[in-house]
A and B are shown apart, each in its own frame.
Chain A
Amino acid sequence: MGTRLRDMIRSIRACKTAADERAVVAKECATLRNAFKDNDQDFRHRNVAKLMFIHMLGYPTHFGQMECIKLIAAGSFPEKRIGYLGLMLLLDERQEVLMLVTNSLKNDLNHSNQFIVGLALCALGNICTAEMARDLAPEVEKLLHNNNSYIRKKAALCSLRIVRKVPELIDYVMVPATALLTDKHHGVLISGVKLCTELCEGSEVALQHFRKHVISLIRVLKNLVVSGYAPEYDVNGITDPFLQIRLLRLLSLLGKGDSETSDNMSDILAQVATNTEGSKNAGNAILYECVKTIMSIEAIGGLRVLAINILGRFLANRDNNIRYVALNTLVKVVSIDTQAVQRHRSTIVECVKDSDISIRRRALELICALVNVSNVKPLTKELMDYLKVSDPEFKGDLTAKISSLVQKFSPNKQWYIDQMILLMVEAGKYVTPDVTRALVVVISNASELQGYTVRALYRVFQAWDGQESLGQVTVWCIGEYGEMLIDNLNEVEGEEPLTVTESDAVDVVETVLKDIRVSPDTVAFSLTALLKLSSRFSHCADRLKGLILEYKGSVVLELQQRAIEFGSILSKHTNIKTALLERMPVLDEATYYSAKQVEVGVDANQTAKSGPHSNGHAKQPNGVAKHLAPETALIDLLSFLPDEQPSAPHQSSDDALLGSLGANVVTSSVPPLSGGADMLLELLSLGTPAAPPLASQESPLPASSQSSLRSSLLDADPFAVPKGSVVSHVMSDQTHNGPASNADPFANLAPLSKPTAAKNPAFPLLVAMQTSGLKITFEFTKQANSPQTTIIKATHTNLSSSPYSDYLFQAAVPKFMQLQLEPASSNILPANGGAVITQVIKATNNMHGQKAMVMKLRVSFKADGQNNLEQAQVNNFPVGL
């Protein structure tokens, strides 16, 4: 027969250990199963009650689900009561058995006993499925008109659940819901108002409909505000704060985007905002909701001031909960009224240091919304000071916020670099790789600060404690600007002099290299730095080589390959070493940021930047043209890959080569272009699965065998997709400079920068566009008195065998630039480069020194009677234009 519920609970509570408890529960469950099997009716509701208790303890109870359904189908109230309770606890809307209760629910909704109707409504409101909603909506709708308030309020919330499940039923419920707004009973009102809110959120028609009833809502709210003491609904002297808040929320929906409705409610909102007493939580809850409403409707200025003042009071409150909601709301106010929020800045900064993480998070978010160029310095200092003492769990958030603020609002580069170094020292392990990348780009572009930066890094490095980011940046800077450490070049005002020897600098790299805490990526950085130093630190050459070769046997393939290949550069290719190990070309800031914001300006046809633009630099002509062929999509796709992956190798080889030597862990596997330099490129394209170290042993091959080697490499290329485009580019390149470069394997390492250097010492020649049939080069001159203006001489050459007619060249620039095109020398371009067209472009960069020039090119012409169109984007203009 089993025990009583009370006895079972007692025996479970008496258990000393979890094992005892499991044993007791297992025994109870066995008894219950037997009782269910025997279809024991007398004790069914007691058994289900026991099962609910067992369920609450976390034991499986699905075997009792059918019993609940049987109880519901039974006749008496006590049975139904436990049956419905079990249904809500042991089942949820996803169980199929639930279908079996639809009929019982229908019967109970129509039952003459109001308590049974109440039970059915309650169950339906909590676990109703979409199917049940459709089946039972008419019954529930009928009950909305019931003359018993107890039934009406339950029916209102049941309807709420029904329209959540089946939004089409909104129209059906709308009219009966309206009637609830004038109900006298608070329970019905609060349920009805909530239902209407839900309808308004789900349907524009409902929103329009309820705007007509705003007056009755205002009346209800007014009665609550002015009414005297109502003992039944009183909370700390306030009448039914719950209902007031529900009303305010519905008003905020109705007023949003509708100034007339907003006007109607402004009096009552002002009244609530001024008359509600804010010494207790209930009052503050209303004030808080009122502020939210004022902020969301089309409120007049005076009302807004009132709301912001309330938040100001909240912020000064001693109760943490109140301060929390103030911070939370001020974040939303910032965009509307920054000044008002700025006034509370010091309080907000204090909140960042609160011991409660909930407060800290909100405050930090708010601070970030408040920072601008004028206050970034003091605010960053505050945050930085706090970073030193904050909990480890909070440091990640804080570091991310500080770095984004510093990046966004830094008034000058030196300050930016200082702050980033400080950040890496304080919280180096929380600084993410993209933040350090951005820092390296900035350093690379700030030629006058490179010496300062490398020395600053050297100083802080003396106290290095394994911070990965600091290690990487320091090593990279020493690799690139190591000599500035020794000779104190470009000293910045107020900088302390530093005496460092070559060997000291190498010590730093060695420390990072050999630290067990750093990742292989950082070791790779260090190896590259060592290689680079080898061409500048002649005293340490042997030591550098020795350090590199220690990694010859590294178990990390990437490091082993670096060590072996670098070793062979140092021992076998000393004649080209100096050229090879030149300083990394300036990283193009504009390209870096545009690559970072992939979504920005995605004009698939126009964004023709491709190739190693990430390493894009001034010296090399790597303006890349692009065919309006299907493959363009592919190139575009490739150009959006992380910039460590030079995607299409169609510009000068030394560019790609230098790129490979850059600080990034190069993962490109696209085979490089033509020419004997291939070998070297293969050798240097680190991490290329298809580049056997063996390649370094081979001498330049004749053209035929080279192309076969290339094709086999292509076949081995794991990235099969880009093949088509790569081949075509390689081929087209080959026709241009392939044969010539066979004579000297390194012929095209520098040739393109040399002649320009002769012509124009200031700015190198730039190949702005190159396709299989067309080449456009830019030559730059600057007038001494106007640094903003650049005179560009564009030279157009036809590389194909058919002449071009109706040749038209167009260019476009972003808003910060101006452009003036002089007439072209001709509109006919003879075949095979027989003659060239020249055209003078006058470009003015209004953000000279801040932003690099960018230009989009478009060329149209007729060849063999067909119209052709070529487009390209040039974003590798030499620095300083």
Chain B
Amino acid sequence: MSRKQIRFILLQNRQGKTRLAKYYIPLEDSEKHKLEFEVHRLVVNRDPKFTNFVEFRTHKVIYRRYAGLFFSMCVDVTDNELVYLESIHLFVEILDHFFSNVCELDLVFNFHKVYLILDEFILAGELQETSKKAIIERMGELERQE
């Protein structure tokens, strides 16, 4: 059964290095690597004027490019593409706010924090919180627990 949920989220740079990979469906490690490679190849050379949607196997990848980074979400073909595009943007805004002017290096050295932010934003393949402020505040509280 195909469910309307996010199957995975990838954050890759132009060279195809994975900076974040979150899977909401179980997959073998080898399969994950293959898939990351394929998604990168699909999105990296697309004309910026093209749609932000590419069919990928039996699903659809919604991606958006920010400088040298590609944010991709794999969703069901019948799902609302535009809203995922919007949520990618919201995620990027949260990262930007959290790291104040985020760059790739922030994401590399603080990769575990990026995962934590994502866990506050999306859970079980579904959007969990849509307020940037709430997430940033929550991250602050969590940091204080350390």
Contact = CB atoms under 8 A, between A and B. Distances in A.
Given A56-B111, A190-B127, A356 B47 contact: yes
Contact of B131 (A9, A233, A282): A233
A180 B92 CA distance: 28
A308 interface: no
A177 interface: no
A546 interface: no
A332 B78 CA distance: 11
A601 interface: no
Contacts of A359: 50-51
A232 interface: yes
B33 to A, nearest CB: 5
B112 interface: yes
A63 interface: no
| A-B complex: 7 closest residue pairs judged by Cβ atoms | A285-B82, A125-B124, A356-B50, A187-B129, A92-B26, A161-B124, A157-B123
B116 interface: yes
Question: Secondary structure of the B side of the interface?
Answer: mixed
Interface stretch (A241-249, A298-306, A552-560): A241-249
B44 interface: no
Given A241-B83, A285-B80, A321-B51, A52 B126 contact: no
B104 to A, nearest CB: 11
B21 A325 contact: no
Interface stretch (A34-42, A77-85, A578-586, A651-659): A77-85
B103 interface: no
A235 B141 CA distance: 25
Given A92-B27, A281-B85, A194 B126 contact: yes
B29 A158 contact: no
Contact of B130 (A125, A186, A289): A186
Interface string A52-64: 1100111010000
Contact of B126 (A6, A57, A92, A160): A160
Interface in B66-114: 80-83, 85-87, 89-90, 108-109, 111-112
Given A115-B142, A187-B128, A289-B80, 18 more contacts: A9-B109, A52-B112, A53-B111, A85-B116, A92-B23, A92-B26, A94-B26, A153-B129, A158-B123, A187-B131, A190-B129, A194-B126, A242-B130, A245-B80, A249-B80, A285-B86, A321-B81, A322-B82
Interface in B129-146: 129-134, 138, 141-142, 145-146
Contacts of B142: 81, 115
A322 B134 CA distance: 30
A292 interface: yes
Contacts of B134: 187, 232
Nearest to A231: B133
A154 interface: yes
A52 B111 contact: yes
Contacts of B124: 125-126, 157-158, 160-161
Which of the four size classes fits the interface of chain B?
35 or more
Contact of B50 (A57, A88, A322, A358): A358
Interface in A388-407: none
B90 to A, nearest CB: 7
Interface string A315-358: 00000111111000000000000000000000000000001101
Given A89-B115, A94-B26, A321-B51, A190 B128 contact: yes
A633 to B, nearest CB: 35
Contacts of A92: 23, 26-27
A242 B141 contact: no
Given A285-B80, A325-B82, A358 B55 contact: yes
Contacts of A115: 141-142, 145
B80 A288 contact: yes
B115 A157 contact: no
B35 to A, nearest CB: 12
Interface string A165-191: 000000000000000000000110011
A324 B108 contact: no
Contact of B33 (A58, A190, A282): A58
A9 B124 CA distance: 29
Contacts of B83: 241-242, 245, 285, 289
Interface of A: 6, 9, 13, 49, 52-53, 56-58, 60, 77-78, 81-82, 85, 88-89, 92-94, 115, 121-122, 125-126, 150, 153-154, 157-158, 160-161, 164, 186-187, 190-191, 194, 232-233, 235, 240-243, 245-246, 249, 281-282, 284-285, 288-289, 292, 320-325, 355-356, 358-359, 361
B3 to A, nearest CB: 7
A786 B49 CA distance: 64
A242 B52 CA distance: 18
B114 to A, nearest CB: 11
A649 B76 CA distance: 51
A187 B130 contact: yes
B51 to A, nearest CB: 5
Contacts of B80: 245, 249, 285, 288-289, 292
12 contacts: A53-B111, A85-B119, A92-B23, A115-B145, A190-B129, A194-B127, A282-B82, A323-B51, A355-B50, A358-B50, A358-B55, A359-B50
Contact of B51 (A57, A82, A320): A320
Interface string B1-39: 001100000000000001111011011010001000000
A243 B126 CA distance: 12
A136 to B, nearest CB: 14
B53 A358 contact: yes
A613 B7 CA distance: 50
Nearest to A129: B26
A284 B131 contact: no
B116 A288 contact: no
Contacts of A154: 123, 128
A232 B82 contact: no
A78 B29 CA distance: 27
B123 A93 contact: no
Contacts of B23: 92
Nearest to A288: B82
B108 to A, nearest CB: 6
A240 B87 CA distance: 11
A57 B20 CA distance: 10
Nearest to A92: B26
Contact of A235 (B3, B4, B90): B90
Contact of A150 (B109, B116, B130, B138): B138
B113 to A, nearest CB: 10
Given A324-B81, A356-B47, A78 B146 contact: yes
Contacts of A13: 108
Nearest to B132: A232
Given A125-B124, A358-B51, A281 B133 contact: no
Contacts of B29: 60
A361 B55 contact: yes
B128 to A, nearest CB: 6
A320 B123 contact: no
Contacts of A121: 123
A837 B62 CA distance: 74
Nearest to A283: B82
A284 B89 CA distance: 15
Most buried by B among A52, A157, A322: A157
Contacts of A232: 131-134
B69 to A, nearest CB: 15
Contact of B82 (A157, A284, A361): A284
B133 to A, nearest CB: 5
Contacts of B112: 49, 52, 82, 85
Contacts of B119: 85, 88, 122, 126
Given A77-B146, A92-B23, A284-B82, A320 B129 contact: no
A562 to B, nearest CB: 43
Given A56-B21, A92-B26, A233-B131, A325 B126 contact: no
A82 B4 CA distance: 29
Contacts of B129: 153, 186-187, 190
